[in-house]
Structure 1
Amino acid sequence: MLLVDNDKQSRHEFCQIIQESKYNFLSIYESSTADRALFLLKQNKPSCMVIDLSLPDMDGIKLGRTALEMYPDLPVIVVTHLKMFSLVQDAINAGFSAYLLKALSKADLVETLERVLTPELSKQINNIMNRGQGGIVSDLSKPIESAIHIIQERYNESLTLKDVSDQVYLSPSYFSRMFKDETGKSFVEYLAFVRMQKAKTMLRLSSLPIEVIANNTGFTTAGYFATTFKKHVGNTPSEYRDQFYWKNESRTIKA
């Protein structure tokens, strides 16, 4: 989840609500500016984007529209002090998913996430399991954005730097430097990051065997997947999944 708000206290309160909800498994990336938010969006598509309209470097409505140009199915939620009807209309016309007022209540936020986030997470699992093999069209004017899109779509394949650089019509060496400059990660680091994010989602939201998840996230063997996962996350895939299993069990007992 990407949270964009210039108010540090508001970000803290939002994160606290999420931490105390059933969505506490979500990683929250925070940004106080639109520029930083766009950088994070280029790195990885979040499951949901939450924005305040009062940002220091860009109008929040414009930022949301820009995000939807990048990811048309991204749920965008406005959380703001501004109560003007014209802004609500602008948000609706922009295709945003919700408009919430501060001070934010846990009930309002959780209810909104139930409506917009759960279907998106379910769709991610379905896309992973039913991934098509159609071609991907590259935008030659934006080679790194095209490369990121290719990685997001084909991370489950045996993907190499040369494969992607060829598709955006750049030499491997130039592509490698350009990719690192724009994303802050090397090609290998970014590919591993995407694969780990997808694997964590599948571990949390499905009961698929580890071997199947390994295969669907681009790893040749379950053993190599487990080793790589522990290196990046700090737990084995089974240990990571068990954390959420016990949380769910605890909630069931309390209920």
Structure 2
Amino acid sequence: MVVAGVLIIDDEAESRQHIRLIIEESQYNYLSIYEAGSADRGLVLLKQNQPDIVILDLSLPDMDGVKLGKKVLELKPQVSIIVATHLKMFDMVQLCMNEGFSRYFLKPLSNVELLTSLDRLLLPNLMKETNVLGNAGAPKKPVEIDLGNPIQSVIRYIHSHFYEPITLNDVADWVYLSASHFSRLFKAEMGVTFIEYLTKYRVEQSKRLIKVTSLPIEVIANNTGFANAGYFATTFKRLEGKTPTEYRSLFSGFMSE
């Protein structure tokens, strides 16, 4: 999956359990969750399990939480730190942000606060992994054309560019074939039409985002190549037998406070 897991460092067992339940009953229930009641134990688990997110209480029995956060970032600079604490002090918030911590919340951490933070922190990796949006603004590596295998060349193009507008005429021109001839070749080799294949592939990519993020359906539609949310919902239901919202509810209905 996208991340190795989440490490919760908090000396209050009730707080750790609260956070664990939010994650386990959400679309992020695939994440491994590790718990530590002290800074020393937290550092051991960090080294052993290499989590990508640390949820940290600042009031620990054996080390100042900010100091621990700095140690965590020294050991694993790419980790994201979410602070969940009773300490309501502007200076402390500013200090944590200056040290490179990602989020600062007061206890008790709400479902929306935690899951929205996970969306924002995990989505860049998800987008990179699925080639959605995260690559849209980056220089694209050209897809090589194999004129001896034009259909497979187009398949590779679809997998790399499905979030962009793609037409049959465009890809036919790209492989130096007439639209009608390309269309016949594609159906003969793939067993479905070009549009059917492209649409199904886009829906499959959207399903990943629906399952593991709480992004609005409209955003997912735009990021997977659909012209608008209405067309996306209609197409999704036709192929999957349920709406995107109904599909999401199979994995999590836990986004309320």
Instruction: Calculate the TM-score normalised by the size of structure 1.
Output: 0.49
CA radius of gyration, larger in:
2
Q: Which of structures 1 and 2 has the larger relative contact order (alpha carbons within 8 angstroms, sep 6+)?
A: 2
Instruction: Calculate the TM-score normalised by the size of structure 2.
Output: 0.48
